[in-house]
Amino acid sequence: MVLESNRKSPSGQGPLHPSSIDFETLVNLSGEAVVLLSLKGDLAFLSPAAERLFGWDAYKFADHLSDLVYIGATNADAELLHRILAGTGDPDAPLPHADLQLRSALGALVWAEVTAHLLRDPSGNPYAFAVYFRSIEKRKELEGLLEAATLTDPLTGLYNRRAFEDSLRREWAIALRERTHTSLIKVSLDRFEALADHFGPSAAEDCLNKVATTLKETARRPADIAARTATSEFSLLLPRTHEMGAETISAYIHLAIQDLGIPNPENTAGNGIVTASVGAACAVAEQTGVAESSEVILAAAENCVFQARQEGGNRVKTVMNSLSR
């Protein structure tokens, strides 16, 4: 929109008129990246901010238009923008307006708020697309930090109970669909309350952090989840892990916690050091269509821990479940 103004023109000779304004200079000074494309995808204008955002100059940028948009999961706005940049955009289709990830000259994906506009001539005929990109990298970084804070146990840095349960539901759904094994290990520290009472909260926190480090080093695969799910209870989710793997990892964790040698004088089951009761459950759907919830494997692992504690603690219990309709 152009507003009428009584201000003097740059030459000082009368009011400022639209014909005397250098709009291209205004765009070039803006921090918002602007790309002007013909309906066939030919690059007509690229602002300096776009060159800074993506790392290509105008000549090289044109070569990357068709693969600029990163399309991960189904994303209607990403698809619409891809068509516009590739020269197959439909003037009658909705125009994208969304936060999207885009490729850059440095290889890294960049986050930008993208808004596209359809330009029409005085007769109302469409002739070009104007696409605006506003960098939101800092905002996304802050959002990531906030999300991590809501999913992380502040003491140990492991995932918290909420994150663990969300991951379990997600991986369980995949396991039922693909009929893959899922293992879940519960680790409960024996007589932990006695340790806290005897040595104080600082020693108790130090113990929890040492155990957490042991579990972090055990859950090494990208899909593995190590979480603190109660005051002195930890959980490991091991997707695509068979019964033998669950038994091996459970036995390792049991011994590794013992080998930490953390004093706990009232833990008679461990001869005065910190030990754990470990319960492991492994489950696999024998056919597709099985409808059991993730509570099946969760309850099985918790029952194993209960049995271990009932038998005096400092031991491992495992169970294997085959699910069918």
Q: Which two tokens stand for residue 28?
A: 């070039």
- Looking at residue 191, the DSSP 8-state letter turns out to be T
Cα–Cα distance measured from residue 79 to residue 100, given in angstroms and rounded to the nearest whole number = 11
User: Is 3.30.450.20 the CATH number for 18-141?
Assistant: yes
Task: Give residue 169's pLDDT.
Answer: 93
Largest CA distance in the chain: 97
Nearest to 172, CA basis, from 305, 304, 291:
291
The string of pLDDT tens digits covering residues 110-167 is 999 999 999 999 999 999 999 999 999 999 888 877 777 788 999 999 999 999 999 9
The string of pLDDT tens digits covering residues 293-309 is 899 999 999 999 999 99
Confidence (pTM)? 0.61
Nearest to 47, CA basis, from 18, 77, 20, 23:
23
Give percent above pLDDT 70 in the chain.
Answer: 90
Handedness of CA 60, 61, 66, 72 (dihedral sign): positive
Count other C-beta atoms under 10 Å from residue 280's C-beta. 31
Average model confidence (pLDDT) across the chain: 89
Q: Is the pLDDT at 28 greater than 80, yes or no? A: no
Q: Where in the chain is the domain with CATH 3.30.70.270?
A: 152-323
- Looking at residue 69, the DSSP 8-state letter turns out to be B
Sort 300 into a burial class: Cβ within 10 Å, 0-12 / 13-18 / 19+.
buried
Q: Where in the chain is the domain with CATH 3.30.450.20?
A: 18-141
- Compute the average pLDDT of residues 14-42: 75
Cα–Cα distance measured from residue 110 to residue 302, given in angstroms and rounded to the nearest whole number = 43
The string of pLDDT tens digits covering residues 172-211 is 999 988 899 999 999 999 999 999 999 999 999 999 999 9
User: Is 3.30.470.10 the CATH number for 152-323?
Assistant: no
Q: Is the pLDDT at 25 greater than 80, yes or no? A: no
Beta strands in the chain (DSSP E): 33-38, 43-46, 97-102, 110-120, 126-135, 182-189, 225-230, 233-239, 276-285, 316-323
Task: Give residue 143's pLDDT.
Answer: 84
Q: Is the pLDDT at 3 greater than 80, yes or no? A: no
Nearest to 294, CA basis, from 201, 204, 182, 144:
182
